[in-house]
Amino acid sequence: MRLISFDMPDAVYEFAPWLEAQIVGLHLAELVAELAAIHHVRTLPAVSVADFLGASAFQLILTQGLKPLPTSSLQQLVSHPYYLLELQERIFTDGGPYWRNVPRSDAIQAACKQSLLMLQDKLTLAESLPATDGQNAASEPEMPWASTLEASAWYQRPWPWVLNLATAAAVFIIVYLSFRVPQNDFGKPEASKLVWTSPEDLSKPASAEQYWQRLATVKRWWFSEKPANKVQLALRMGQLSQGCSVLILQEHRHLPPEAGERLRQKCRDWAKELNGYIVELQKGDADFQEIQKKTDALVIRLSDKLESGMKS
């Protein structure tokens, strides 16, 4: 965990570029929250950011960024941080070409790729959006619009029918799998199946919310069988441990990158705790019911975390 405001540069000349990067990045709201706490600001602004900064300073920001602003204006924004949120919106809706060149972070570019993939998943089922161009399109920070469109236009590609066929095949496979696999709905898995150990199930199209719910079905799976002895308990704990390994190694493309990373980190903690219980069980003289209780508690805790989207 790091607090964004603590990265604020010491040097005045570094401050404007740093704040510009925050405005086009994924951490502006955290910065605003932190600055609001530090400067004890609790109420949302009553006037617009243009009125607050003055029309000329505001226009300057839209056309030339924050660097030409006097230090006093930057200080006003820092000590009244909620204005930064409206400023961000106005820059995105009315900002000039200057803002196009403010570097975007790797994290936000990765999130864009993920957004396009998720969108393709949704549109593929409904409208068959071609998947082949998606990643390239998302990775191009500036689009030479017309030329790119011409170069990759549908009717000018070498074998358009191949893509048609591939799309049709992909839809067929999805439909086929959805009938073949007994667990045909991510939200309603078979109690006897641990979704964690099934990368293909984890990869099925889903919103972030559905994905968390899918992961949280681990509780239903765990409590669907009560081990009668140490061997049965060890086998079941082994499966759970394998599931943790899959989640640690799996690319969680339904989640924002930061959330995926948090999930992996949490899985490492859970795996460590679980493996501790397994070692305890393997000692032979351990009270297996006691270990089962501890594992039950762990499963409830982790399932609650997952169900809440890791917010609790």
Partner 1 sequence: MDSPSASGGDEAAIIAILLNPGAAPADKRLAFQRLHACYSSDLLAFLRSRVGTGSMMDVSQTVWLSVWQKIAAKFDGRNFRAWLYQIARHEAINHHRKYKKASTVQLPESLRDYRVPLSNEDEELRRVLEECLGMLDPRSRDVIRARLGGALTNEEIAELFNLSRARLFSLVSETKSTLTKCVKEKLS
**Rule CB under 8 A: which of 29-88 touch partner 1?**
29-30, 32-40, 44-45, 62-63, 71-72, 74-75, 77-79, 82, 85-86, 88
**C-beta separation of 247 from 196 below 8 A:** yes
Closer to partner 1 by CB, 15 or 196: give it.
Answer: 15
- The DSSP-derived string for 15-65 is HHHHHHHHHTSS-HHHHHHHHHHHTT--SPPSS-HHHHH-HHHHHHHHHH-
Rounded Cα distance between 3 and 20, Å, is 17
- The DSSP-derived string for 211-274 is HHHHHHTHHHHHHTS---SHHHHHHHHHHHHHHHHHHHHS--TTS-HHHHHHHHHHHHHHHHHH
Rounded Cα distance between 223 and 37, Å, is 43
Q: Residue 21 interacts with partner 1 (CB under 8 A)?
A: no
Of 129-137, 216-224, 238-246, 275-283, which part binds partner 1 (CB under 8 A)?
Answer: 129-137
Residue type, 255: L
User: How many residues sit close enough to partner 1 to count as binding (CB under 8 A)?
Assistant: 94
Q: Which two tokens stand for residue 75?
A: 């200080």
Q: Which positions ≥6 away from 255 have C-beta within 8 Å?
A: 208, 211, 263
Closer to partner 1 by CB, 66 or 247: give it.
Answer: 66
Residue type, 154: W
Give me the least distance between CB of 29 and partner 1, in Å please: 4
DSSP code, position 105: P
Site residues (CB under 8 A) for partner 1, limited to 181-200: none
Give me the least distance between CB of 100 and partner 1, in Å please: 4
Q: What are phi and psi of 96, to 5 degrees?
A: -85, -175
Closer to partner 1 by CB, 17 or 134: give it.
Answer: 134
Of 183-191, 192-200, 285-293, 303-311, which part binds partner 1 (CB under 8 A)?
Answer: 303-311
- Count the neighbouring beta carbons within 10 Å of the beta carbon of residue 112: 15
Give me the least distance between CB of 165 and partner 1, in Å please: 14
Give me the least distance between CB of 193 and partner 1, in Å please: 26
Interface with partner 1 (CB under 8 A), residue from 14, 149, 162, 235: 149
Closer to partner 1 by CB, 185 or 258: give it.
Answer: 258
Q: Say how far residue 286 (Cα) sits from the centre of its chain.
A: 41
Question: Which x/- pattern over 248-277 shows residues binding partner 1 (rule: CB under 8 A)?
Answer: ------xxx-xx------------------
Closer to partner 1 by CB, 43 or 229: give it.
Answer: 43
Give me the least distance between CB of 133 and partner 1, in Å please: 6
Site residues (CB under 8 A) for partner 1, limited to 208-237: 208-209
φ/ψ bin of 54: left (φ > 0), alpha (ψ from -120 to 50), beta (otherwise): left
Site residues (CB under 8 A) for partner 1, limited to 99-118: 99-100, 104, 108-109, 111-112, 114-116, 118
Interface with partner 1 (CB under 8 A), residue from 64, 65, 106, 122: 122
Q: How far is CA 283 from CA 51, 236, 274, 297, in A?
A: 71, 17, 15, 21
Interface with partner 1 (CB under 8 A), residue from 13, 56, 155, 228: 155
Interface with partner 1 (CB under 8 A), residue from 65, 95, 189, 243: 95
**C-beta separation of 98 from 64 below 8 A:** yes
